[in-house]
Amino acid sequence: MNRQWLIGKLLACFVLLSLIISDLYTNITFAQGALTQTTTTNSLLFLPMITNGNGGDKPPSAPPTATTRPDSATPTATATTAPDLPTPTPTATATPIIPARNLPAALVGTWFNGNAPLNDFYNPQTGEWRDVSGLGQMYVFAADGAYTYTGFLRIQTGTCRSEVSTFKQGVAESDGATLVLHPTHTRTRTVIICPTAQESITEGSQAPVNVGWTIGDDGLGREQLSITEGESVTHYAKRGMATALVGTWDSDELTSADFYDPATDTFNLASPLGMWFKFAADGTYTYGEHSHGTPDAQGCVVTWWVYQAGTMTVSGSNLTPKPATGALRLENSCNPDQPSQEAWLDAERTYVWLFRDQATAPKLVLIPLERYVEFIFKPE
């Protein structure tokens, strides 16, 4: 009786042990399957497919997120914690802090190619992106080595639109002709609208990148940064005051000396005809002009004197004076004893600027965007 009872107990234990082993094997197999499925899903990368290939005759006056679902339902695993095993404590990994490097003064500033993206088209603190258009890229280098790179591409094909935006932030160091970029924050956003919107955001590598760099001019006297990556060379124009512009520039016989006294609001009426600009390194400017129009039907000629002072912006080949104070004096030859003078601001306008004959007799050329006419100035 005792022998039969013992055999029965042993059989029961064997069956129970078999069930435990079978269940453990099933859980391990399922976990491996789930891990494989997760790895495969995370490795998918969705990329866009793009198909196609002043003077004058008159006085101054959030898209939805696309979700891909597998064809079959995904089982949900339930984690079971063994009561006798201690829970491991995760170890925090600190993001390496790269010390600041001083960059050459010539490199410090904002450089862009194409349409310069907005400085705030991506917010790394919130992860928000702003819509921009066109094609462009930009580097911003600080004196301590901090840098930001932004790039944007938008292509419209029929009713479909593809956009790729890139943002990188980190620290740069110069090693002679080599620039070493240490990115610490990189994001790329891809948006395809055809007709529904699909968006994906990926994190880029933080491995250092070596690029070649030189600074020269574009052949017309404007500063240009050239970045070499492999066999590719990209040229960037400078945004900000250009050193070559600093100084006083005259046209014809008129000079800035004694032309106008802001303290007394008085013009030198005996000054010759012409124009002049004085550009300062801090981006401020003053401007003077003495000119006249053509006779009207009665044979009357209007002569004017103009003075303007303000700030200016320089972005690549574009120069935009923005007057803050100014004065205008008008005289009509038919009424010479009735001149008029008042505070006056010229309209804000943008010029294309360039230099000619730099090696012999440098000349500054300003061409207003609204009409093609060249104003040529020589150094005072």
Report phi then psi at 178, rounded to 5: -110, 135
219-241 average pLDDT score:
96
CB half-sphere exposure, 241, CA atoms < 13 A: 14
Distance (Å, whole) CA 209 – CA 179: 8
pLDDT surpasses 50 at 219:
yes
Most confident of 13-17, 86-90, 187-191, 306-310: 306-310
Question: Structure tokens of 139?
Answer: 């580097």
pLDDT for the residue 173: 95
The reported pLDDT for the residue numbered 39 is 35
Task: Please report which confidence band the pLDDT of residue 50 belongs to, taking 50, 70 and 90 as the band edges.
Answer: very low
Calculate what percentage of the chain has a pLDDT beyond 70: 73
Q: For the stretch 90-113, what's the b/e string if a residue is b when 16 or more beta carbons lie within 10 angstroms of its beta carbon?
A: eeeeeeeebeebebeeebebbbbb
User: Percent of the chain, pLDDT > 90?
Assistant: 63
The whole-number average pLDDT for the span 130-153 is 90
pLDDT of residue 189: 93
What are the residue ranges of CATH 2.40.128 in the chain?
A: 109-239, 243-379
For the domain made up of 109-239, the CATH class stated in words is mainly beta
Nearest to 292 by CA among 305, 277, 311: 305
* Nearby residues of 313 by Cβ (< 8 Å), 6 or more positions away: 283, 319, 320, 322
The mean predicted confidence, pLDDT, of the chain is 80
H/E segment holding residue 133: none
**Which pLDDT belongs to residue 328?**
98
Give me the mean pLDDT over the 139-150 stretch: 95
Q: Please give the class, per CATH, of domain 243-379.
A: mainly beta
> What pLDDT is recorded for position 106?
94
